[in-house]
Amino acid sequence: MTEELKHWVGGKKVAGESGRFADVFNPATGEVIARVPLASRAEVDKVVKNAQEGFEVWSEMAVPKRASIIFRFRELLVQNQDKLAEVLGREHGKTIPDAKGEIQRGIDVTEFACGVPHLIKGEFNQNVGGNIDLYSIREPLGVVGGITPFNFPVMIPLWMGVMAVACGNAYVNKPSERDPSSADFLAELWTEAGLPDGVWNVVHGDKEAVDALLEHPDVPAISFVGSTGVGEYIYQHGCANNKRVQAFCGAKNHMVIMPDADMDQAADALIGAGFGSAGERCMAISVAVPVGQATQDALIERLAPKVEALKIGAYNDPEADINPLITVQAKERVESLITKGVEEGADLLVDGRGARLQGYEGGFFVGATLFNNVSREMDIYKTEIFGPVLSVTKPQSFDSAVQMINDHEYGNGVAIFTRDGDSARAFSKRVDVGMIGVNVPIPVPMAFHNFGGAKRSKFGDTQMHGPESIRFFTKMKTISSRWPSGIKEGAQLAFPTND
């Protein structure tokens, strides 16, 4: 019998009321393993009202006490990492080691959030003028929403929600309906950790639930991760409803390989960054940019056999390198883009179309795919494919490689592989990209720094996790204070100064 999932509201599971459901698949088999409810506007309103009650309790709790609950939650994440990886892998499809890596990145942010008593400290100046003291404080916003993607169903809710909760807010997570169970698992751990009911909520749904959050008058802030088209809509619609919005979106990440680079190291880096998680990462390297013909030849010589050797497999197969894609529609889209690349004249060196695995014939698999001599005019270069497809461009100069990167509409991540410090320094200065790796293929910052791209990879002017998240999830108050000292000054009609 197919499991029927529930929302998580007020510290407990709550059945859906709309009568609408979506199927949840095991991507390795293509079988329906659960049904997830799709919330109505009325249900979202109930969740927000419940979250407001939780916020009133949580925001008044002493900050060190809040930190102790977050630390307990961190301990539960560590203890339940294997169980959570199993839930994540079964619905998303990513391999168990990849799932555990994602969970660890969420734990990193949770550890950072345990330092919230220090992170939300304000500022103070004594006697700024006329015996007046001036100080600022940071306060929570209230009930904030997080709209999270299918490709990181644990890490992104933790990146958003833990920081929101640490700052004293209540959090409503609208996870992807494609792999929703991880969000429910996290909510249960929060309750076990002692978080007051209503502070962490999960409402499952589609566009109706998203619009309800975007338009709800009691939700002052929305954080989003997903595709650029949806992210732009959320940013514009949320801002039009007077909300604070940050939206982290699509990518087309390049890796420049200089002639002096260690080619074996560069090839290995491209395998991991291009094909890990079947390329379903916003920080995946999908374009290799060799500088010079000799560099391209040396790279392809090492790269092609490594790509051919990659194995598809189910999430729990210890020998699997590449997991299935999230849906059959994703598989069809990626394969159609591979076909388009061939039609446009790119050299297809390794073809992942038609991949099948014995015992998993219904799975949504696309094998590792490698193109050579890809030009900037081709769709496979311009489009975020979000699959296990790596494009090697025609040889470039250093200057044209930088220009190519800056001309692309996306600017999430980028890397350069070189032994020359001057090249690396010039590259880092000149590229218009949010996160840069020097001999690091996936330059995702650690939790105590900020994550975020540039151009159409991000809407809004704040970043995720790190100090920026504190600014996003709090509002500033500044207080000017003077206590009577017996001095009679009389009325002052001129604009106040420090004289």
Q: Is 282 part of the annotated catalytic residue set?
A: yes
**Residue 157, exposed/middle/buried by CB under 10 A (0-12, 13-18, 19+)?**
buried
Closest C-alpha among 339, 350, 273, 343 to residue 308: 350
Q: Determine the Cα angle at 269 with ends 247 and 416, to 5°.
A: 70
Candidates 114, 167, 249, 282; catalytic one? 282
Q: Which spans in 451-490 are helix H?
A: 466-472
CB 432 within 8 A of CB 455: yes
Give Cα 28 distance to the centre of its chain.
Answer: 23
Ordered DSSP codes for 53-115: HHHHHHTTS-HHHHHHHHHHHHHHHHHTHHHHHHHHHHHH---HHHHHHHHHHHHHHHHHHTT
Nearest to 412 by CA among 440, 443, 439, 452: 452
Tokens 């061939």 correspond to 342
DSSP secondary structure letters along 173-216: EE--TTS-HHHHHHHHHHHHHTPPTTSEEE---SHHHHHHHHH-
Give the integer Cα–Cα distance in Å for 347 and 350: 9
Query: Residue type for 186, please?
Result: L
Q: What six digits make up the tokens of 447?
A: 């939790």
CA–CA dist 38, 40 (Å, integer) = 7
Structure tokens at 118: 């220090």
What is the token pair recorded at 154?
């644990």
In Å, the largest CA–CA distance within the chain is 90
Residues 328 and 324: their CA atoms lie apart, in Å, by 9
| Distance from C-alpha of 68 to C-alpha of 193, rounded to nearest angstrom | 9
Rounded distance between C-alpha atoms, residue 44 and residue 50, angstroms:
10
The span from the CA of 214 to the CA of 222, in Å, is: 7
How would you class 89 by CB atoms within 10 Å of its CB: exposed for 0-12, middle for 13-18, buried for 19 or more?
buried
Distance CA 306, CA 271 (A): 7
User: Under 8 Å CB-to-CB from 297, ≥6 apart: which residues?
Assistant: none
Which are the catalytic amino acids? Answer: 282
